[in-house]
Amino acid sequence: MASPTGPRPTEESLVIDTDRLSRLKQSTEGDLWTKHSIYKVPPYMFHPKKNAYEPHLVSIGPYHHGKPHLRSMEEHKHRALHHLLKRSNKHIDDYRKMLSDVLQDLMDSYEQLDDKWRDDRDKFLQLMILDGIFLLELLCSYSGIIKDYGINDPVFSFHGSVNILHYIVSDALMVENQLPLLVLERMVAVESGTMVEKDKFMQNYKILNNLVVGFFIPSMKPVPEIGEGLHVLDLVRKGMILGPPANTSRHLPSDVIRSASDLHDAGVEFRRSKTESIRDITFSNGILSLPIFIVEGGTESFYLNVLAFERLHPSTGREVSSFIAFMYGLINSEKDARLLRSLGFIQSTLGSDESIADLTKELARDMYFDPYSPLCEVRDALNLFYKKSMKQWSKRIREWRSNLMQNYFKTPWTLISVVAAAFLLALTMTQTYYTALAYYNNNPAPNPPTTPPH
């Protein structure tokens, strides 16, 4: 029988990981956790759609490297390497040397790096080079910076953009399928020769910001100043937020936000926000300003991975989590989705309003407001407005009832007269009905002729 506190530890589970202890001795626990930025999603966070965190076409980084269904893309990674070396007149050793200096930092970026990579550092370095060049070529080819791929290239061409690009974009935004941006920064430094002094680069991250945000969020022009990022997913998340997390006072838990339909019925007016930032949500003077919520095929996978990253990376805010919790409050039913879509606040390719409501419900599973989020202020203000509006309606109903009683039912005899009149009217209608029924029963309609008249 199992122990009430869980399965008993086996002899194998009690073996001490001396390598891990050695790494902990070299660095404090806090320092080690700070270096982590790429995570595996733990089982307790698994979404019912477990493949939401599993790449479908291309592996980036060590977590999914070598899986059978992803091997076909390895050939294209080697082609990208060949194109880059030929075009830049560089040698692969130039990239190898540049990354060797930061190899330990790159390895520490992964929270759960298998021992096979730690034992074979050269293999890990090759993986960083190959995957890094693939990403860089992808960004540069679709931005128009490089044009040495064929028009029928299966990946780096318009043909590729039509057929497989959406799979690559989805895979490149998965929390387990990330590469430290430090890899790309070093590669840009090799190509552009921007290294000045020791390991100091001339704002290569700005070049990468333009490439990454321009590729994943093409509507965002010009690219705002969002600072350095940890990896592609982190940069795209920052692009959605448009700035660092806001410092606000802590809010105590409140009841959930009212739905869009309830708020609309209570007199709330909906307007477009001035920007598309998910933080640009305000409520003032009865007007709720919202950005457009775009819902399409890859929306669920993208948001699930951003939400997972926010939960796993300690120094990352919870802006996206609070946004999803807020939108779920607004879109609580098919009726709410239909209202917001009719007002232009939802752009969807999913087809039905029910699908939109189901999506927000799935995304909001186990989500909650960050108590420090500015959206808490918006939520509380909306709830206060709704309660005041309902009180006003209740007051008007009471006043109407009071005026009715005072003006028309001043004495009990008035009420009795009205009731008696209504009763007599009902009796009269009933008598009329039965009289007409008796007439038609006694005078049935003639049967229709069996043959047409001549």
pLDDT tens digits for 289-305? 999 998 988 888 999 99
Q: State phi, psi for 218 to the nearest 5 degrees.
A: -60, -20
DSSP-derived 3-state class of residue 188: helix
The pTM is what? Answer: 0.71
pLDDT computed for residue 255 by the predictor: 54
Distance CA 219, CA 214 (A): 8
Q: Which helix (H) or strand (E) holds 287?
A: strand 287-290
- Convert the pLDDT of each residue in 112-162 to its tens digit: 999 999 999 999 999 999 999 999 999 998 888 888 898 888 999 887 887
Contact in structure between 276 and 221 (CB atoms under 8 Å): no
Higher pLDDT, 169 or 3: 169
pLDDT computed for residue 46 by the predictor: 72
**37-51, 246-260, 369-383: which range is least confident on average?**
246-260
* Percentage of the residues of the chain whose pLDDT score is greater than 70: 74
Which residues, 6+ apart, have CB-to-CB distance to 291 below 8 Å?
Answer: 272, 273, 275, 276, 277, 278, 280, 281
Q: Which two tokens stand for residue 357?
A: 């409501």
**Residue for token digits 């209202």?**
339
C-alpha distance from residue 410 to each of 90, 169, 406, 407, 413 (Å): 99, 74, 5, 6, 9
Long-range contacts of 363-369, Cβ-Cβ distance < 8 Å, separation of 24 or more: 363/300, 363/303, 363/304, 363/307, 363/324, 363/328, 364/324, 364/325, 364/327, 364/328, 365/47, 367/307, 367/321, 367/324, 367/325, 367/328, 368/321, 368/325, 369/251, 369/322, 369/325, 369/326
Confidence check: pLDDT of 60 > 90: yes
Residue 224 DSSP class: P
Domain ranges of the chain: 22-241, 260-386
